[in-house]
Amino acid sequence: MADFEVGEVARALHAVRDEWRDRQKRSREPGGREFPSRDALAGILEGLKGVLFPMRLGPPDLRHESEDFYVAHTLDAALHALYAQVLLELTFNARRDTTETVHVPTQVQAQATEVVRRFARALPGLRRLLDTDVLAAFHGDPAARSVDEVLLCYPGVLAMIHHRLAHALYGLELPLLARIVAELAHGQTGIDIHPGARIGAGFFIDHGTGVVIGETAVIGERVRVYQAVTLGAKRFPVDGHGVLQKGLPRHPVVEDDVVIYAGATILGRVTLGKGATIGGNVWITDDVAPGASVTQASLQKAPKVPA
Amino acid sequence: MADFEVGEVARALHAVRDEWRDRQKRSREPGGREFPSRDALAGILEGLKGVLFPMRLGPPDLRHESEDFYVAHTLDAALHALYAQVLLELTFNARRDTTETVHVPTQVQAQATEVVRRFARALPGLRRLLDTDVLAAFHGDPAARSVDEVLLCYPGVLAMIHHRLAHALYGLELPLLARIVAELAHGQTGIDIHPGARIGAGFFIDHGTGVVIGETAVIGERVRVYQAVTLGAKRFPVDGHGVLQKGLPRHPVVEDDVVIYAGATILGRVTLGKGATIGGNVWITDDVAPGASVTQASLQKAPKVPA
Amino acid sequence: MADFEVGEVARALHAVRDEWRDRQKRSREPGGREFPSRDALAGILEGLKGVLFPMRLGPPDLRHESEDFYVAHTLDAALHALYAQVLLELTFNARRDTTETVHVPTQVQAQATEVVRRFARALPGLRRLLDTDVLAAFHGDPAARSVDEVLLCYPGVLAMIHHRLAHALYGLELPLLARIVAELAHGQTGIDIHPGARIGAGFFIDHGTGVVIGETAVIGERVRVYQAVTLGAKRFPVDGHGVLQKGLPRHPVVEDDVVIYAGATILGRVTLGKGATIGGNVWITDDVAPGASVTQASLQKAPKVPA
Amino acid sequence: MADFEVGEVARALHAVRDEWRDRQKRSREPGGREFPSRDALAGILEGLKGVLFPMRLGPPDLRHESEDFYVAHTLDAALHALYAQVLLELTFNARRDTTETVHVPTQVQAQATEVVRRFARALPGLRRLLDTDVLAAFHGDPAARSVDEVLLCYPGVLAMIHHRLAHALYGLELPLLARIVAELAHGQTGIDIHPGARIGAGFFIDHGTGVVIGETAVIGERVRVYQAVTLGAKRFPVDGHGVLQKGLPRHPVVEDDVVIYAGATILGRVTLGKGATIGGNVWITDDVAPGASVTQASLQKAPKVPA
Amino acid sequence: MADFEVGEVARALHAVRDEWRDRQKRSREPGGREFPSRDALAGILEGLKGVLFPMRLGPPDLRHESEDFYVAHTLDAALHALYAQVLLELTFNARRDTTETVHVPTQVQAQATEVVRRFARALPGLRRLLDTDVLAAFHGDPAARSVDEVLLCYPGVLAMIHHRLAHALYGLELPLLARIVAELAHGQTGIDIHPGARIGAGFFIDHGTGVVIGETAVIGERVRVYQAVTLGAKRFPVDGHGVLQKGLPRHPVVEDDVVIYAGATILGRVTLGKGATIGGNVWITDDVAPGASVTQASLQKAPKVPA
Amino acid sequence: MADFEVGEVARALHAVRDEWRDRQKRSREPGGREFPSRDALAGILEGLKGVLFPMRLGPPDLRHESEDFYVAHTLDAALHALYAQVLLELTFNARRDTTETVHVPTQVQAQATEVVRRFARALPGLRRLLDTDVLAAFHGDPAARSVDEVLLCYPGVLAMIHHRLAHALYGLELPLLARIVAELAHGQTGIDIHPGARIGAGFFIDHGTGVVIGETAVIGERVRVYQAVTLGAKRFPVDGHGVLQKGLPRHPVVEDDVVIYAGATILGRVTLGKGATIGGNVWITDDVAPGASVTQASLQKAPKVPA
């Protein structure tokens, strides 16, 4: 009857894995290769969202008089769960550089503890920053009727909660955890902010689907962007030998109070000056002066002047 | 060992919450502040989808001869669950305007009952409208092989089911519930339709990711749009004092039988005349005549004539 | 009290369903109309992802020495679950063409068995192809630190795992199952690849939101595309009677080593020659020569020469 | 590292299974051997309990005005689920008697349909009987404060709901389904009533742990028993060849209004006359006259009279 | 095809419910009749067990340094959940005595608050008492190797945790909640202790299946009982008119340091004197002197002396 | 409003825990005190039941041709999960004897590996033994219609599956894991068999509620017992100083082919000779000769002879 040759297929898959591991110079020794878990981080984020905004993103039946019990317990659980993931990233890094078995040394545990402690200390400041983002969304969208609605419904706010936490992890040299946190938001909102991007207070993304913000972007205060805006790199800088040079500033600098309408693409280490307005769908690879207003129309006209 | 100073961090978070509440003039009294729940609405939507299309979106083992039992019971449960959410929105609105404790008065209950009853009565008409959307998708995509496939697979159809329900709630002055219903679809499909948009029969969105349709948009019958199309506002109208004027018509009017290809951006209260075709990626801020065909090429040529 | 007239609404919904079924010439006989299930396919995909990449996408506590047990058992379960879905698609097709009751004949079972067996045999080859995609992502993004990170975090890699499986199903004449597999990825990543698209080894999609790749697109090896790229059809070809002609080649051919930056739109059966570079946001409806570099600037300049 | 020789153990287990199947003359052909499912029946029972007592054992938020929708839908779903289990038992019986592959013939389906229909028709009568059991519990226990409490809390009432349903299945010649229903109650309450036992209206079991009532027991109306009471068989009757004779009456007949206190053991086809009282822990293998009162004391005294 | 006449059966069930409600003089008005929930109490008990023994019955990964956060948060949640159930019992009692619609008055809320507060204050004392029960189990069973094992494994300890909480609820005049708590343990352990029973410190039940302890039983300190022991009532006392007199002492008094072996049955308001030993399976309806040892043998011999 | 003084109660509970830990000389250092988990063992048992009887207790849709994949994978997962629990018991034992922090040394890991390997090797033999128990149940109960029914429905068979596994763990010096496995069955069936009891092939427990079998009981082949049978200890042997002497034989020896009817109590290190029959409810503290038949009647008559 229905015989799908599972044994043979499994053997063939085994052979392909062996090929890959040989080519990648991976050991085939017994043992697991533990790795941070997307599901675990999703759970941690749920906890942290409740810790930051207990009456809106915490459990539906929470009461004011119990907030502190809930916050302390949930924070405690989330931080210990995060600690386990931090250990995994630190250990994985160590393992990547060697073929020997790696035990989790006391030193790595101490490092993980210190990292989590610093992350925890940063949370109150992140909440304060996020309050500015919530207010920016509330004031920036005439349809918004309350800050509560903004917290609950706006994908741009969800993306910023993830980003501010991811950026803190990035700053603590946990790029992998940071990336997973960012991708969790990307999957839910279509907004893709690299954890390395530095974003000032009062940032508001409206609609949001298709927004991409690159690793070395620097964004000032009270900036507003719409869907499908890209703050990207022109090309990856290479050194004299054609090798990619990582870490060089390659994404735009956006100064305070800039507005960027839907579909605009800003590429390279250009600066959008304070208060500039960038129209929809425009393509920009040069600096824009403070207060300037760039639209597709102005761009189409511009070349005609010298022509 | 691993001590993350949870107590101190919790205290600091408490202080930040107090700051925020003082600044927002929120009470710190004991008690909960109940709010409509995204999860509850997700459950209600699952029920209503089964009620509207029992043999396709209802339980997999449903049989024709049991449809009515399933529909009546599921509708009953969904409406009572919706009633609870309606009470929450109505009460929340009342609370927002006062610092006093608000009890749910009999009057609010009567209002909620009436609203849910009217919503229920609208459902058969919505099903009829959705049938036209399903047929439009089936006829509009040469790859579609059956209407069943369209109902099951097409993100544009899912978005329209949510939109037609959300629009009904919006019309019943429940903007928050309507918004949550819309955002549930936005998160799953990348299609962002404001619940206020008025959309005629036989509407089809293909691919869909990145589509944005604004609150005062008016769309005729048999309209077709592709991914990343924006029907947006040019800017928010302000009155003489620079205050945003809400509710003014500020999004496009799209007449019957218009087709809008991917990436096109239509901004402001312009009219796309009956049967017009809008090419991909074009940027339009003026009226388009009925039957006209606008493409990027035609736009690029246009200015050259007078130049 | 709260009486929502459920009985009346249910009766009205019944009437609308009858209308629809009459118009669609559907039988109203008792019995179910079984259809492939999105949830079932989601479960099968989870299994197959673990089968293809057991140590990264399988259970978190898997160990090398147990890989083969896990792979064989999970593969066996996934294939039998797939077999049930294949039966449903084959039977549904048979039913669509007749109003008589259809029993699952022995012949359909034999066909389903054969199809699943061929799908199973293809899996090792798909894993080998996916390894090239993973390496392409790793080498194509300077931020990637390990192939593991790429497998776990990158939406473009997730989309390709789904696509390569969906394409295999498409090749086995199971377009509906293939479509569901593709839409599962579309919903999670915003990347919409039609299962019919033929894509060579080492394909990398960065960021990805808004990418659309059409049914007859042909993509060579080592191609790289960014978010919001469309490889679409100009228009649907019609025959002399205005009837859509299905299956004709109508999407681009992209040769080896092409790079296509964000937001570019390539429409129709054009060819992008080997090694070409397509800039962001450009709109292309003609062939591009091998090695050429097309940017918005070059396009804007181009018309000026003859002007 | 940790190598548990799984492959070898699995092979040895395979060998033991083969031994067993050979000895039991079971086929080793491919294919499943489907069997009624304990979990499926547990789900069906949950549904039927809600159908019988919607406001107490149905969903917590059910309202009077929606009872009928809930009852019809839940009943429909439960009966169709039961139908599937009935098919499994009927088919299993057919398979047990042959080594050939058995297909589910139309005849078996017709039989299953008829059996489920008769079961359904019996439900209103069972509800009426169970109402008498609930009242008996309410009146029989001075601690009971309401019939609602009795339905919700009393293990004896739970056992009787299961028994009356199991007895109906037993009467429809589905002994295996009946047995599973009985064992589900046994596991939860420690009360073991064989589905074959015939029990009149108004039966009350208090405390209940350890009660055993045998297959051919016959119990009149308004009988009350306490924990650890056994109504058993003295020994199994054998025919002239020492072969067990199934189906012969071998358990007690208990007439109306009898009370049996905790730990009493009544064995064999004896009759406890109308209104008799059986004291705790007594051991009875002979008839008891109507109205008689048997206690340990009376038994201990009894032999002394003739001595 | 499979038509089970669901509509007719549902109608017949409706008729039976109406009969019952008429006979029970229950209103058929719309609206729900809320009642305490077994599932809700099961959840509350899980929380309280963790609150009382955080490192053994709390979450598996709890750490000493986080105990207080866990305890405060879990206690807070459990008490608020209990408050909701208390409201239900108090309201149900009020409704039982009237046919009018009952709103939950402020007074009932105040009463519920006070009751929960008193229950909460009792918890530290209950933990101290339960510590004596745990030690009694540890010292009473030579097989026990640690107090942790006793807490985790012994059904007698589980039954006592439930009983001490149920007895507190009973003392607060919440007999229905108390009963549900007791039945939850009864179902899991086969040990049936009425919430009204007064039990001193250091009580140990070994094995436990079939133990029944009645409402007015009074048990001293350091008492030990084995499986299937009954501390029951001889008969229910009636007044001059044959009406059951509730609340009269009708179960045994067991003084300090008594041991009762398996299967013994002690009935009526008799006293087992300090330090007495009751052998297995004996039947006792009279007082036993302090220090006495009663066995079946001694009982069998006893009557012979006077004979 | 509803203030339950959670902070104060939590502090009081903290104080009680400190008291207890001081009295028990437990450390209050930070860190967890891990302990084997009842839930984890329940999961392991589910796996092992499927491994032992894949077509009956494994997944409902398993097919013969996939048995080995399922068995190998499930066994592998169950053994690794068991290994983690074994480590916990071994480490807990080590910790119990010291107040110092205990790390899991390599030696303990080696010991755990060896123990699990020996447990795995024992499984085929256990399956063979359980086959004899299944046959005994099938032949011992005239109501049983197939061995499948026996495996699925009979609590006595479930109890024996648990016991044979628990006894293997007990023999490997893991008394705590063994105990948890036994209590899992006790909770579901009311049958309490100490893991130390040695039980021969073909053992059958009918009905089962209330059966207790002690640690040093020795039971031969083809023995049958009914509900509420106790094989217990008369009293715990003490040495000259009144200290309990653990491990001495103190429970009955039951030779081959003995039958013990419901409620019989056999206490102490007595021997029931081959083929003896013990009647219901009898109380035995002396040896019974091979082939003898002891009933309550014979016991009551017995003393009369010498009297």
The CATH number linked to E278 is: 2.160.10.10
Q: Is D30 inside a domain boundary?
A: no
| Residue partners of A191: CB distance under 8 A and separation at least 6 | A155, A156, A159, A185, A205, A208, A209, A211
CA distance B201 to E130: 69
pLDDT of amino acid F254:
98
Residue A244, phi then psi, degrees to nearest 5: -60, 135
From chain E, the residues in CB contact with D75 under 8 A are: 6, 9-10, 13
**ipTM over the 0.85 cut-off:** yes
Whether pLDDT at B305 is above 70 = no
Place of tokens 């913000």: A213
From B157, B190, B223, the end of a domain falls on B190
Say yes or no to pLDDT of F56 above 70. Answer: yes
Average pLDDT taken over every residue of chain B: 88
pLDDT averaged over chain C? 88
For residue F30, which residues of chain B lie inside 8 Å, CB to CB?
Answer: 1-3
Token readout for E43 is 């959840």
Mean pLDDT along residues C64-81: 92
> What is residue B1's predicted lDDT score, i.e. its pLDDT?
46
CB-neighbour burial class of residue F256 (10 A; exposed 0-12, middle 13-18, buried 19+):
middle
pLDDT at E306: 33
User: Same structural domain for residues B81 and B175?
Assistant: yes
Q: How many domains does chain E have?
A: 2
Cα B27 to Cα A138, A148, B104, distances in angstroms: 20, 14, 18
Q: Does residue C241 register a pLDDT over 80?
A: no
Q: Can you give the C-alpha Rg of chain E in angstroms?
A: 23
Q: Read off the pLDDT of each residue in D273-293 and give the average, rounded to a whole number.
A: 94
> Residue D143: which pLDDT band, with cuts at 50, 70 and 90?
confident
The mean pLDDT value for A163-190 works out to 97
C177, C234: one domain: no
pLDDT band at E97 (very low <50, low <70, confident <90, very high): low
Reply yes or no on whether the pLDDT at E151 is more than 60. Answer: yes
> Is F76 within 8 Å of C66 when comparing Cβ atoms?
yes
Question: Using 50, 70 and 90 to split pLDDT, how confident is the model at D104?
Answer: low
- In this complex, the residue of B9, B209, B283 whose CB is nearest that of residue A123 is B9
- Position D61 confidence tier, pLDDT thresholds 50, 70, 90: confident
* Partner residue opposite F124 with nearest CB, options D12, D192, D283: D12
Structure confidence at residue A93 as a pLDDT band (50, 70, 90) = confident
Torsion angle of C-alpha atoms B239, B244, B246, B249, degrees rounded to 10: 70
Place of tokens 């398979």: D95
Q: Percent helix, strand and coil across chain C, each rounded to 5?
A: 50, 10, 40
Query: How high does pLDDT run on average in chain E?
Result: 88
Judge contact between A80 and E66, C-beta under 8 A. yes
For the segment F265-276, what is each residue's pLDDT rounded down to a tens digit?
A: 999 999 999 999
Do the chains contact at B69 and E6, CB–CB below 8 Å? yes
For testing the chain F interface, which of D4, D22, D216, D285 should be mutated: the one with the most F CBs within 10 Å? D4
Instruction: For residues B262-280, give the mean pLDDT.
Output: 94
Q: Tell whether the model's pLDDT for residue C128 goes beyond 50.
A: yes
- Percent of residues in chain F assigned helix, strand, coil, to nearest 5: 50, 10, 40
pLDDT of residue A40: 93
Task: Tell me: do B218 and B181 sit in the same domain.
Answer: no
Contact: D1, C69; criterion CB under 8 Å: no
> Least CB-CB distance to D65: which of C3, C65, C69?
C3
Contacts of B66 in chain D (CB under 8 A): 73, 76-77, 80
Q: What's the pLDDT score for residue C33? A: 59
The residues facing A84 across adjacent strands are none
Distance CA(A87)–CA(F177), nearest Å, equals 30
| C306 confidence band (pLDDT: 50, 70, 90) | very low
Residue F181 sits in the same domain as residue F56 = yes
Contacts of F1 in chain A (CB under 8 A): 65
| B108 to chain A, closest Cα gap in Å | 20
CATH (domain of B48):
1.10.3130.10
Q: Which residues of B touch F (CB under 8 A)?
A: 1-3, 30-31
pLDDT one-digit tens code per residue, B199-208: 999 999 999 9
- Answer with the one of E190, E225, E249 that is the final residue of a domain: E190
Confidence of residue F149 (pLDDT cuts 50, 70, 90): confident
Q: Which two tokens stand for residue C273?
A: 């020659």
- Classify residue A203: in a domain, yes or no: no
**Do F298 and F264 fall within a single domain?**
yes
Q: What is the pLDDT of residue A244?
A: 63
Whether E71 sits inside 8 A of F183 (CB atoms) is no
Indicate yes or no: CB of F69 within 8 angstroms of CB of C66.
no
Q: How many residues would you count in chain F?
A: 307
More confident residue, B157 or A33: B157
Whether the per-residue pLDDT at D297 is higher than 90: the answer is no
Check pLDDT > 80 for residue B6.
Answer: yes
pLDDT band, residue D299 (cuts 50/70/90): low
What average pLDDT score do residues B276-291 get?
A: 93
Of residues A2, A3, A69, nearest to F6 (C-beta): A69
Q: Is residue F102 pLDDT above 80, yes or no?
A: no
Calpha distance F201→F218 (Å, rounded)? 12
Could you tell me if C200 and C221 are in contact, meaning their C-beta atoms sit under 8 angstroms apart?
A: yes
Q: Is residue C12 one of the residues assigned to a domain?
A: no
Q: Report the 10 Å Cβ neighbour count for F124.
A: 21
Could F4 and E120 be called an inter-chain contact, meaning their C-beta atoms sit closer than 8 Å?
A: yes
What's the pLDDT score for residue B304? 34
Q: Does pLDDT of F62 surpass 90? A: no
DSSP letter string, B113-174? HHHHHHHHHHHHHHHHHHHHHHHHHHHH-TT---HHHHHHH-HHHHHHHHHHHHHHHHHTT-
B178: nearest CA partner in chain A: A153
- Domain, as residue range, for E288: 210-307
User: Has residue E199 been placed in a domain?
Assistant: no
Query: Does residue A187 carry a pLDDT above 70?
Result: yes
Pair B151, B268 in one domain? no
Residues E167 and E225 in one domain: no
Q: Are residues B186 and B40 in the same domain?
A: yes
Q: Which band of pLDDT confidence, cut at 50, 70 and 90, is reported for residue A15? A: very high
Interface size A-C, in CB pairs within 8 Å, comes to: 148
Looking at residue F214, what is its pLDDT? Answer: 95
Q: Would E274 be classed as within a structural domain?
A: yes
Nearest to D141 by CA among E173, E214, E169: E214
Mean pLDDT, residues C31-54 taken together: 89
Span B117-121, average pLDDT: 96
Neighbour subunits, C (≥3 Cβ pairs < 8 A): A, B, D, E, F
Specify the pLDDT at position B3: 76
In angstroms, what separates the C-alpha of A11 from chain D's closest C-alpha? Answer: 15
Partner residue opposite F65 with nearest CB, options A3, A63, A69? A3
Contacts of D6 in chain F (CB under 8 A): 72, 75-76, 79, 120
Which chains does F contact via 3+ CB–CB distances below 8 A? Answer: A, B, C, D, E
Rounded to 5 degrees, φ, ψ at A262 are -55, 140
Q: Residues A285, A269: contact at Cβ < 8 Å?
A: no
- Average confidence score pLDDT of chain F: 88
pLDDT at E250 over 70: yes
Q: Do C16 and B128 touch (CB under 8 A)?
A: yes
Per-residue model confidence as pLDDT tens digits over A51-86: 999 988 998 878 888 889 999 999 999 999 999 999
For residue A28, the model assigns a pLDDT of 56
| Predicted structure pTM score | 0.91
Are E243 and E115 found together in one domain?
A: no
Residue C195 lies in a domain: no
Nearest CA-CA partner of C28 in C13, C38, C37, C18:
C18
Is pLDDT of D103 > 80?
no
Check CB contact under 8 Å for F79 and D176: no
Distances (CA, A) of D173 to B159, D116, D248, F137: 51, 12, 17, 22
pLDDT surpasses 90 at A301 = no
User: pLDDT band at F145, cuts 50/70/90?
Assistant: confident
B98, pLDDT greater than 60: no
| Mean per-residue pLDDT, C108-114 | 93
Which range scores top for mean pLDDT: B19-23, C102-106, D152-156, F25-29?
D152-156
E126 and E227 in one domain? no
Q: Judge whether E67 lies within some domain.
A: yes
Residue type, E166: A
Would you say residue B214 has pLDDT above 90? yes
Token digits of residue A1? 């009857």
Please state the rounded mean pLDDT for residues A7-11.
Answer: 90
With a cut of 60, say whether residue D30 has pLDDT above it: no
Min mean pLDDT across A86-95, A225-234, C167-176, E192-201 is at A86-95
- Same domain as B122, residue B169: yes
Residue E158 lies in a domain: yes
Contact flag B51-C13 (C-beta cutoff 8 Å): yes
Same domain for F285 and F165, yes or no, is no
Domain boundary among F161, F190, F219: F190
Of chain E, the percentage scoring pLDDT greater than 90 comes to 66
Q: A185 and A157 in contact (C-beta within 8 Å)? A: no
User: What pLDDT score was predicted for residue A1?
Assistant: 46
pLDDT over 70 at C64, yes or no: yes
Instruction: Give the pLDDT of residue F236.
Output: 64
